[in-house]
Structure 1
Amino acid sequence: MQQHSGQHLITALADQMFGFKTTSWELGHQRTLIELDTPSVTAEQVAALEKNVNEKIRAHIPVVVKEHSEDDPEIETVRSRGLPDDHTGPVRIISIEGIDDNMCCGTHVSNLSDLQVIKILGTEKGKKNKTNLVFLAGNRVLKSVERSHSTEKALTSLLKNGADEHVEAVKRLQNSVKLLQKNNLNLLRDLAVLTAQNFKSNPGRGRVFVLHRKDGDSEFMNIIANEIGTEDTLLFLTVGDEKAAGLFLLAGPSEAVEKLGPRVAEHGVASKARRPG
């Protein structure tokens, strides 16, 4: 009832304040959407609409259910999509005193104060050049605040600072992670070159090179293959966690790759086999 009556109130005021007509609405499990017949709604308009909506709630305005006969001329003055062709019997109108009269067969609160509060979460691009307004009303607002507060407490414990500093703390962590990832990538490339050079400088090296590295990637394998060369050496390189998905590269003389490639691929999650050139 809170979400439904909240939709009636928002719809009426959006029309009165900005001329935004409601074309449809959706009552979801977590949030409610109102589709407005406008390509965009500014942040200032959202703020003004939310302010006005909550002022009406605090004004303790009655919500009254009225029934009219089909031929009552008052029906023509209310907001509606019109009656179905096969309609019979009285017409039910939900009246928010001094704000809105609308045909509706749904359940509603008896006073706007029962809505407690409405929070407009924002807008989304809708279909056919329309805008979806997302909101919560009543108990859903309280539950949302409770979830947000729990998240805030958890972040305060993890980040070791106050709620006002969470965003900046996360930005600093993101920058640190990006720098570490960049440094790690550079080190991994250097390690690949050194690994290949160490193999090439070994006078007793064979014609097969096998290596697994847990924290490697496809570039790591390619660097080693390019540094060692695949004309005379058969390389079988793997990267990734031993207990999870990974990658392998099989490279070397054509006849060896053609013979071993299909057999290796049968046991690999992801693979790359290549011949010289």
Structure 2
Amino acid sequence: MAFQCQRDCYMKEFITSVVSCCPAELKQEVNGKKEILKGFNVILQDTVLFPEGGGQPDDRGLIGEVPVLRVTRQGSDAVHFVSSPLEVGQEVRVKVDWERRFDHMQQHSGQHLITALADTMFGYKTTSWDLGRQRSTIELDTPSVKAAQLQELEEAVNEKIRSHVPVHVQLLSLDDPAVEKVRSRGLPDDHAGPIRIIDIEGVDANMCCGTHVTNLSHLQVIKLLGTEKGKKNKINLIFLAGNRVLKYAEKSYSTERSLVSLLKTGPDEHVEAVDKLQKSVKLLQKTNLSLLRDMAVLIAQNFKNNPERGNIFTVKHYLADSFSWNNCFICFKETLVFLTVGEEKGPGLFLLAGPSGPVAELGPRILEILQGKGAGKNGRFQGKANSLARREEAEALLRQHHSSQEE
């Protein structure tokens, strides 16, 4: 069965009726956490909302005033997940989120065009593709694509767009001999009804259930951003089509203006300016590290030369090189040295060094106070602290232990 969204991909609204509505659950991820949303699965007589398939995400939209949160295909039915129930038999107006739909149409038709020409021009077969939220990728069965080939391919696809090549949809029966002549990665096990063919006139005929433009001119433009290493002996070709290219250009120009203001140079000099800044930062970091090490040595010497230094010494620093500080203070065999590195109330590093007995006893307790992870042996206990806000409690524990030993 072909849904109305497949018969007329440009239709934005459609009046139909509710066939069934039953309670259901939707698993979704919100801010990295999986949640289960209770709602209803609705089947309509027909729909302009595309169910996920062919590498294309599903549509969003409204049934009446009720938002559709998910559309999936089950056999010959499109199942709409909604949060509120709908009355069976009632007539409803279905509206599609057109911006999302047209974006998917441009990316999907763009993928067909790129795939066809990559095969025709270079013999690179497409093994899969992904329509992402910001950019799309085509997995090509080749270990690499040369820069010259990428440029040639981009010029070729945009020439087809400028040529206003028509895109036709054909519905063929499964036993039609023409089916054998089109590209396909196979039909789903629950496929029902005729075979849908997307035919880019004179360029490509491909079995596909997705929504597409009716003319390549509707793609506006395609930009090939480059390639990334994919699975073994395969490459991922990254591309943008249509409105995504315009949004990308707008975002890039906004970034360019910001860099002009920050770097005080023109766009052509940005790379050189950033390179100089990085080298300056590295030099400053090296100088800063040297100063921190010198400061650590001076503090350690001052403590060592102090006749009233006692048996506990605590040091806290925000931007210290912990290795240098550790080496300066662990030489005090009879002194408990407690060092922390990091912001006053944030995460950081800590070290407890000194006599092996007290260190072995107090190290785990300090670890618990600082809510961290660590370990120790031979008079040295160190690790990461999740919160240095309780540093004073750790110091109090050390003093309390020292007082008890003197008694």
The alignment's TM-score, normalised by the length of structure 2, stands at 0.63
Cα 1:98–1:182 shift into 2, 3 Å: same
Cα 1:198–1:41 shift into 2, 3 Å: same
Alignment of 1:86-97 (within 5 A): 89-97=193-201
Q: Which has the higher strand share?
A: 2
| Amino acid in the other structure paired with 1:53 | V
Cα 1:77–1:274 shift into 2, 3 Å: closer
Alignment of 1:136-215 (within 5 A): 136-215=240-319
Cα drift, residue 174 of structure 1: 0.8
Alignment of 1:1-277 (within 5 A): 1-81=105-185, 89-226=193-330, 229-268=331-370, 269=372, 275=378
- 1:24-56 Cα offsets, whole Å, 9 max, x none, are 222121111211111211111111101100011
Asked if the contact 1:41/1:123 (under 8 Å) is kept, the reply is yes
The alignment's TM-score, normalised by the length of structure 1, stands at 0.90
Asked if the contact 1:249/1:271 (under 8 Å) is kept, the reply is no
Cα drift, residue 100 of structure 1: 1.2
| Amino acid in the other structure paired with 1:67 | L
Distance in 2 separating the partners of 1:117 and 1:165? 28
Cα drift, residue 60 of structure 1: 1.0
Distance in 2 separating the partners of 1:209 and 1:163? 53
Distance in 2 separating the partners of 1:214 and 1:2? 52
Distance in 2 separating the partners of 1:36 and 1:11? 8
Distance in 1 separating the partners of 2:120 and 2:113? 11
Asked if the contact 1:61/1:112 (under 8 Å) is kept, the reply is yes
Cα 1:90–1:211 shift into 2, 3 Å: closer
Cα drift, residue 198 of structure 1: 1.5
Distance in 2 separating the partners of 1:88 and 1:195? 80
- 1:94-148 Cα offsets, whole Å, 9 max, x none, are 2211111222222211111100000111112222422211111001111111111
Number of residue equivalences = 275
Cα 1:274–1:90 shift into 2, 3 Å: closer
Cα drift, residue 10 of structure 1: 0.6
In structure 2, the residue corresponding to 1:107 is in which secondary structure?
coil
Cα drift, residue 158 of structure 1: 1.2
More displaced, 95-104 or 8-17? 95-104
In structure 2, the residue corresponding to 1:190 is in which secondary structure?
helix
Cα 1:274–1:250 shift into 2, 3 Å: farther
Asked if the contact 1:50/1:118 (under 8 Å) is kept, the reply is yes
Distance in 2 separating the partners of 1:63 and 1:162? 43
Cα drift, residue 4 of structure 1: 1.0
Cα drift, residue 19 of structure 1: 0.6
In structure 2, the residue corresponding to 1:175 is in which secondary structure?
helix
* Aligned-pair identity (%): 67
Distance in 1 separating the partners of 2:180 and 2:310? 93
Distance in 2 separating the partners of 1:273 and 1:88? 66
Asked if the contact 1:230/1:275 (under 8 Å) is kept, the reply is no
Distance in 1 separating the partners of 2:184 and 2:334? 81
Structure 2: gaps (5+ residues):
1-104, 381-407
Distance in 1 separating the partners of 2:306 and 2:188? 88
Cα drift, residue 89 of structure 1: 4.6
More displaced, 85-94 or 21-30? 85-94
Asked if the contact 2:222/2:239 (under 8 Å) is kept, the reply is yes
Q: Which has the higher helix share?
A: 1
| Amino acid in the other structure paired with 1:236 | F
More displaced, 110-119 or 92-101? 92-101
In structure 2, the residue corresponding to 1:30 is in which secondary structure?
coil
Greater relative contact order (Cα < 8 A, sep 6+): 1
CA RMSD in angstroms, aligned pairs only: 2.3
Structure 1: gaps (5+ residues):
none
| Amino acid in the other structure paired with 1:139 | N
